[in-house]
Amino acid sequence: MSKFISYFLTLIFLSVLVSCKAVEVLDVASEPEDEGTSVTLWTEKTELFLEYPTLIVGEEAAFAAHLTDIKNFEPVTQGKLTSTFTSEDGVVISNVAETPSYPGIFRPVITFSKAGIYEMELRLEGPQVEDIIVVKDVLVYANKSDVPLPGSPPDDDLITFLKEQQWNIDFKTEPVRKNELMASIRAVGEIMSDHQMHAEVPAPINGFILSYQNTNIPSQGSWVSKGDVLAVISPPATIENSLLAIRTEYLLSEAEYERTERLFKKQAVPAKRFDEAKLLFEAHKANFDALTKQIDFNINGNDGDKVSIHYQLMAPIDGFVEELHFHIGQNVKTGENLFTLTNLETVLLKANVPVSHISGLQSTHNASFKVEGYEEEFEVAKLNGKLVSIGNIVNEKSRTVPVIYELKNPGNKLKIGMFAEVSVKIGESSEMLSIPNSAILDEDGTPIVYVHISGEAFAKRILKTGISDRGYTQVLEGLLEGERVVTIGAYQVRLASLSTSVPVGHGHEH
């Protein structure tokens, strides 16, 4: 019986003990957690995400100043931070952090001796970035009883994406602002050669390309100037005899003209005879001069009685040798293509515009386009380009009309045959609220963006968009001017919004 009583008393003791512990836990849990204050500010140089606890006179307070270099959105890892607090009645408190305590995070520790409203100046000095950031309305309370009750709970729809996560990826935000945009017609197109900047060089005669006469043939990819000798062709005997006959006729007519001229001056022949000799000489000379521009008559032998002929094939334009279509020793035929020359200094952009939009083409004079292999968007006007023509024939299969622009090609970035995504500009440009195209994600056919609400908090917004131009899209609904949207790294923010786990690094040094 005594064992039963002892066991019963033990149970009562343990129950009371557990109850006391439960009350103690409830008391601890009932105390409101100090969530402190956070501030996010952007300057032209830096982004500040500042966190600090409720400030009480006489209590040490650790601030966490997250500083991001806005030119590349990387953490500030070099330099010192001077924090100066100035009250309304002139009380000044300062702290200097010589280096970040953690990459991107400075932790000034301050103890306030007087309650009031302070202005905080953060002076960042160092080789990475220099800036001054002012935080207004920093409240310091005389004691805990003066601290107001917590306000409304945080928005559960906000997405947490920590600074450490932002700093470890390609990340960027930009403010929503007004940009000059112009309506456009979307079209597919291609880069083509300007007919004056491209040449196929054929063989003008039958003949052989002999090695000893062609030691300086330009190689593929080399630059040639108009008039440079590309190759030398030695004609067969039949053609050589014909060319020699032209030369002989020229030389004989020249000798006859000179002889007749001397006799005419002595009045030994009539004027008609002299005029006939002159006309015949000029005709033969014209034929011979045309030949000598490309044909080299080499005279060998002491008496000048042996003549060898070879044809000099010359470059008709300045340009690069894109292709050679022969080999040394080859017997080439008249009309056979030997060289392809291309000059990419000027190229053509051909946009195939749907005929349903043909009415808008009456006002076009500019276009922007992207080509395969480049992320950047090119603009005809910025490349000293111009509209060349709007086609008059509709393609029966694609139901499109060709619109052709001529433009300069600095650095030879644009290559013949590249496909292009073209925006044919129509109408006049005007200022429109817009964001970079890179900020917009597609969610089941709906355009969305992620807005940077504060340092580590983001919100998804559904957009209603308008025209797109030069890498920007007009915003009709969903954003306000000045709000910052994620332009690089939006997909990673989206992944964070889908995660139900606490983000890695949530225990960072706040």
pLDDT (tens place) for every residue of the chain, 510 residues total: 444 444 444 434 444 443 444 334 334 334 455 678 999 999 999 999 999 999 999 999 999 999 999 999 999 999 999 999 999 999 999 999 999 999 999 999 999 999 999 999 999 999 999 999 999 999 999 999 999 887 766 666 899 999 999 999 999 999 999 998 988 889 999 999 988 889 999 988 888 999 988 999 999 999 999 989 999 888 876 655 666 677 777 788 888 888 888 888 888 888 888 888 888 888 878 877 766 665 655 544 444 455 567 788 889 999 999 999 999 999 999 889 999 999 999 999 999 999 998 888 888 889 999 999 998 889 999 999 999 999 999 999 999 999 999 999 988 999 999 999 999 998 788 899 999 999 999 999 999 999 999 999 999 999 999 988 888 999 999 999 999 999 999 999 999 988 755 554 444 554
Topology classification of domain 233-311: Helix Hairpins (1.10.287)
Quote the pLDDT of residue 307: 58
Short-list 289, 404, 412, 389, CA closest to 343: 412
* pLDDT value at residue 154: 65
Please state, in angstroms and rounded to a whole number, the distance separating the CA atoms of residues 306 and 262: 29
- Residue whose C-alpha is closest to residue 80's, from 122, 119, 126: 126
Q: For CATH 2.60.40.1930, list the domain ranges present in the chain.
A: 37-152
Backbone angles phi, psi at 415, to 5 degrees: -110, 145
Count of C-beta atoms within a 10 Å radius of residue 415: 15
pLDDT of residue 156: 64
Q: Distance between CA 213 and CA 340 in Å, rounded?
A: 21
What residues does CATH 1.10.287.470 cover in the chain? Answer: 233-311
Are 366 and 352 in contact, with CB atoms under 8 Å apart? Answer: no
pLDDT at 195: 86
Alpha-carbon torsion angle 379, 382, 383, 384, nearest 10 = 130
Q: Does domain 37-152 have CATH number 3.40.50.11740?
A: no
At 15 the three-state DSSP class reads: helix
Q: Which two tokens stand for residue 370?
A: 């992207």
Distance of CA 84 to the CA centre of its chain: 42
What is the reported pLDDT for 101?
94
pLDDT of residue 303: 47
- Closest to 132 (Cα-Cα) out of 124, 140, 120: 124
Predicted confidence at residue 241, as pLDDT, reads 61
